[in-house]
C-alpha cells in the first residue's frame, strides 16, 4: 500500500504542477481579437482621432477596423494599407557579426541601403516587375523569437525572390509572410540579406503546451535524478556495481535535461559558441545514457546466459568490470561526438559530407539527415540490442529459481528499460514517420519525466528507504529495533532471537557489530 500511496501522490503532484500552469498559460496566450497580427502593425506615436472612427498618424490614415489598442498603445495595421517588408534592426542600425557570436544590431553611421530599396521584385515566378520607390513600407525590429537563419544566395535550396505584396517566395512555391522573415545588411555592406525565422507556432495551443510542459517536466525530473544520485552514492550497501552504473546513467540524463532546458528557454538568445557547446553536450550525454542502459542490460543478460566465467561473479571483480563498462559507455559516445565535432568544425571537410551544423539554425542539428546519422542511428542500434537482451533474459528467467537477487535486479532494469527504452523508441518513431505534433505530445512529455520514474522505481522502495533511514539516523533506528525486540521477549528466547536477527538484517555492518555487543 505504501508504494501505491506514493504513486497516487506523484500523480496528484503532476496534475497540480503541470495541469494548472498549462491552463493559465494557454488562457493568457490566446490569440487576441484584433484586425491584424501585432507583427503586421506599427505603434501610432502621434494619433489624430476622427469622428468616423479613423486614426491619422504621420501621414497614414487608418480607417475603422484597421487599428486597435494593445496594452494601452494604439496600433495601426500598416500592412493592410500598403505592402510591407520587415527590417531586422531599427531604422538607423545594421547587423554586425563577430566570429564566434551571433549577429547584433549596432548603430549605422552611414546612409542605410534601405533608403534606396533595390531588391528585385517579382509579380509571379520568373516575372520581374518595376515598382515605385515607396511601394513598400518598412516595419522595424526582430520578431523571430525562436531564432532565425540567413539564406545563402549561392545555395540552390535557398533561392528566393520578393513578391509585390511583400511576401518571400521560394522556388518550390513556398511563401513566407512578413512576420516570418526580415531583411538586413551585414557589416556595413550595401547588400540586403534575407533572414528566415525558425518555425514558431506560438499561437498554436499544442506548441504553447510544448513550450511550457517540456521544460517543466525536465525541471521536475532534475531534482528526482539528483536525489537518486545522492542516495546511491552515500549508502554503502548501494555502492555496488549496479548502483554505480545507475548513478552514471542518472548523471547522463540529468545533464541532458539541463542542456535541453537551456536550449528550450534560452536557445534563441544564446551566443553561437554556447549554442554549439550545448548541442554537443546534449548529443554526448544522451548517447552516454543510452550506452549505460546498454551496459546494465548486458550485465543482467550475462548473469542469466550461463556464459559468464565463474571468476567474473566474484565480488572482487566488480571494480574491474566497472572500469571496462565505463570505458565502453563513456568511450563510444566520445568517439561519436569527436567525429561529429571534427566534421562540423574542420574547414577542410567538403560540403558534400553531411555535417551536424550545430548552431546554424538552432542549438541542435540543422537538418534531419544529420540528426539521423549522428544521433538516431546509434541510439536505435543500442535500443534494438537492449530489447534483444531483455527478451532473451526473460525467456530463460524461469529456470533460475535460486537467483532471487538477480531476478529482482532484472525486474528493476526491465522497468527502467520500459520507461526509457519505450520512450526513446517512440521518440525515434516520431522523428522517422512525423505526423501531427499533438499525436506525440504525451510520449514526448513522458520522456521529460523519466527522472521521476527512476526516482520512484529505485529510491521509493522499502529496503532503500530503510537503508537511508539507518544511514541518516542510525541511533534512532537502532533504538526502535531494540524496543521492538524487547516488546516481544515474553514469547520466549527462540522468538526473541528470531526477531533480533530480523532487526539485524536491516542494519549496516558497523551497526550490527554494535548491536551484537
- pLDDT for position 330: 96
What is the arithmetic mean of pLDDT over 382-387? Answer: 84
b vs e for 56-75, b when ≥16 Cβ sit within 10 Å of the residue's Cβ? Answer: ebeeeebeeebbbeeeeebb
- pLDDT for position 511: 43
Q: How far is CA 469 from CA 242, 473, 487, in A?
A: 21, 6, 22
- pLDDT for position 500: 39
Through-space distance between the first and last CA atoms of the chain, rounded to whole angstroms: 36
- pLDDT for position 496: 39
Q: Please determine, for residue 403, whether its predicted confidence score (pLDDT) is greater than 80.
A: no
Q: Please determine, for residue 31, whether its predicted confidence score (pLDDT) is greater than 50.
A: no
Q: Evaluate whether 177 touches 188 at the Cβ level (below 8 Å).
A: no
What is the arithmetic mean of pLDDT over 199-204? Answer: 52
- The Cα 80–Cα 65 span in angstroms is 10
- pLDDT for position 87: 92
What is the arithmetic mean of pLDDT over 2-31? Answer: 47
**CA-closest candidate to residue 296, choices 234, 367, 389, 219:** 389
- The Cα 458–Cα 6 span in angstroms is 13
Helix residue spans in 181-317 (DSSP H) = 205-234, 241-266, 272-305
What is the arithmetic mean of pLDDT over 155-176? Answer: 80
- pLDDT for position 142: 85
pLDDT tens digit sequence for 489-512 = 443 444 333 333 333 344 444 444
Helix-strand-coil split of the chain, %, nearest 5 = 60, 15, 30
pLDDT-wise least confident of 168-172, 312-316, 429-433: 312-316
Question: What mean pLDDT value characterizes the chain?
Answer: 76
Q: Please determine, for residue 229, whether its predicted confidence score (pLDDT) is greater than 50.
A: yes
What is the arithmetic mean of pLDDT over 36-47? Answer: 87
Helix (H) or strand (E) holding 383: helix 377-396
DSSP string over 358-371: TTTSSSS-SSHHHH
pLDDT-wise least confident of 118-127, 226-235, 350-359: 118-127
What is the arithmetic mean of pLDDT over 429-445? Answer: 64
Q: Evaluate whether 374 touches 341 at the Cβ level (below 8 Å).
A: no
pLDDT-wise least confident of 184-193, 426-435, 497-506: 497-506
User: How large a percentage of the chain has pLDDT more than 70?
Assistant: 69
Q: Evaluate whether 62 touches 54 at the Cβ level (below 8 Å).
A: yes
**CA-closest candidate to residue 55, choices 36, 69, 76, 37:** 76
The full length of the chain comes to: 517
- The Cα 348–Cα 197 span in angstroms is 29
pLDDT-wise least confident of 84-88, 194-198, 458-462, 481-485: 481-485
DSSP string over 460-512: SSHHHHHHHHHHHSHHHHHHHHHHHHHHTGGG-HHHHHHHHHHHHHTS-HHHH
pLDDT tens digit sequence for 112-160 = 888 777 678 888 767 888 888 778 888 998 888 767 888 887 777 778 8
**CA-closest candidate to residue 361, choices 150, 144, 101:** 150
Q: Which 3-state string (H, E, C) describes 44-97?
A: CCCCEECCCCCEEECCEEECCCCEEEECCEEEECHHHHCCEEEECCCCCEEEEC
Between 262 and 198, the more confident residue is 262
Q: Please determine, for residue 314, whether its predicted confidence score (pLDDT) is greater than 90.
A: no
pLDDT-wise least confident of 128-142, 340-354, 384-398: 384-398
pLDDT tens digit sequence for 257-294 = 999 999 888 776 677 788 889 999 999 999 999 899 88
Query: What long-range pairs does 156-162 form, CB within 8 A, spacing at least 24?
Result: 160/194, 161/120, 161/121, 161/122, 162/85, 162/119, 162/120, 162/121, 162/122
Q: Please determine, for residue 447, whether its predicted confidence score (pLDDT) is greater than 50.
A: yes
- Three-state DSSP at 122 gives strand
Q: How far is CA 335 from CA 340, 349, 359, 463, in A?
A: 9, 18, 21, 39
- The Cα 23–Cα 30 span in angstroms is 11
- pLDDT for position 280: 93
Question: 344: which strand partners?
Answer: none
Amino acid at each position: 500500500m505504501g508504494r501505491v500511496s506514493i504513486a497516487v501522490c506523484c500523480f496528484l503532484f503532476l496534475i497540480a504542477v503541470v495541469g494548472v500552469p498549462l491552463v493559465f498559460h494557454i488562457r493568457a496566450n490566446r490569440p487576441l481579437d484584433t484586425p491584424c497580427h501585432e507583427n503586421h502593425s506599427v505603434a501610432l506615436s502621434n494619433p489624430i482621432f476622427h469622428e468616423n472612427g479613423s486614426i491619422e498618424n504621420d501621414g497614414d490614415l487608418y480607417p475603422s477596423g484597421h487599428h486597435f489598442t494593445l496594452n494601452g498603445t494604439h496600433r495601426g495595421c500598416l500592412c493592410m494599407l500598403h505592402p510591407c517588408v520587415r527590417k531586422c534592426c531599427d531604422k538607423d542600425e545594421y547587423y554586425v557579426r563577430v566570429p564566434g557570436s551571433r549577429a547584433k544590431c549596432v548603430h549605422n553611421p552611414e546612409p542605410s541601403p534601405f533608403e534606396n530599396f533595390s531588391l528585385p521584385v517579382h509579380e509571379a515566378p520568373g516575372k520581374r516587375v518595376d515598382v515605385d520607390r515607396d511601394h513598400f513600407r518598412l516595419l522595424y525590429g526582430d520578431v523571430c523569437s525562436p531564432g532565425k537563419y540567413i539564406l545563402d544566395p549561392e545555395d540552390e535550396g535557398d533561392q528566393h525572390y520578393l513578391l509585390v505584396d511583400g511576401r518571400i517566395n521560394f522556388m518550390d512555391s513556398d511563401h513566407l509572410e512578413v512576420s516570418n522573415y526580415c531583411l538586413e545588411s551585414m557589416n556595413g555592406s550595401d547588400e540586403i540579406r534575407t533572414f528566415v525565422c525558425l518555425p514558431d507556432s506560438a499561437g498554436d495551443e499544442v506548441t504553447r503546451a510544448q513550450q511550457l510542459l517540456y521544460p517543466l517536466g525536465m525541471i521536475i525530473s532534475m531534482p528526482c535524478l539528483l536525489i537518486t544520485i545522492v542516495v546511491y552514492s552515500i549508502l554503502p550497501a548501494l555502492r555496488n556495481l549496479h548502483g554505480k552504473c545507475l548513478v552514471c546513467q542518472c548523471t547522463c540524463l540529468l545533464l541532458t535535461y539541463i542542456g535541453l532546458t537551456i536550449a528550450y528557454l534560452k536557445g534563441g538568445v544564446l551566443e553561437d559558441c554556447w549554442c554549439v557547446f550545448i548541442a554537443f553536450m546534449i548529443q554526448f550525454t544522451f548517447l552516454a545514457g543510452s550506452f549505460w542502459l546498454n551496459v546494465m542490460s548486458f550485465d543482467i543478460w550475462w548473469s542469466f546466459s550461463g556464459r559468464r566465467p565463474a571468476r567474473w561473479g566474484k565480488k572482487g571483480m566488480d571494480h574491474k568490470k566497472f572500469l571496462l563498462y565505463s570505458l565502453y559507455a563513456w568511450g563510444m559516445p566520445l568517439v561519436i561526438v569527436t567525429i561529429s565535432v571534427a566534421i562540423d568544425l574542420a574547414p577542410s571537410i567538403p560540403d558534400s559530407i553531411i555535417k551536424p551544423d550545430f548552431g546554424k539554425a538552432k542549438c541542435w542539428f540543422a537538418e534531419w539527415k544529420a540528426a539521423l546519422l549522428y544521433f538516431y542511428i546509434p541510439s536505435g542500434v543500442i535500443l534494438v540490442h537492449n530489447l534483444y537482451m531483455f527478451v532473451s533474459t526473460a525467456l530463460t528467467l524461469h529456470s533460475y529459481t535460486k537467483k532471487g537477487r538477480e531476478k529482482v535486479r532484472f525486474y528493476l532494469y526491465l522497468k527502467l528499460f520500459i520507461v526509457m527504452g519505450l520512450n526513446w523508441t517512440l521518440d525515434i518513431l516520431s522523428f522517422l514517420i512525423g505526423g501531427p505534433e499533438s499525436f506525440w505530445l504525451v510520449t514526448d512529455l513522458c520522456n521529460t519525466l523519466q527522472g521521476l520514474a527512476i526516482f520512484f522505481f529505485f529510491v521509493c522502495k522499502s529496503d532503500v528507504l530503510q537503508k537511508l533511514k539507518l544511514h541518516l539516523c542510525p541511533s534512532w533506528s537502532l533504538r526502535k529495533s531494540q524496543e521492538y525486540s524487547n516488546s516481544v521477549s515474553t514469547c520466549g528466547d527462540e522468538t526473541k532471537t528470531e526477531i533480533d536477527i530480523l532487526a539485524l538484517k536491516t542494519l549496516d555492518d558497523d551497526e550490527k557489530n554494535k548491536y551484537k555487543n
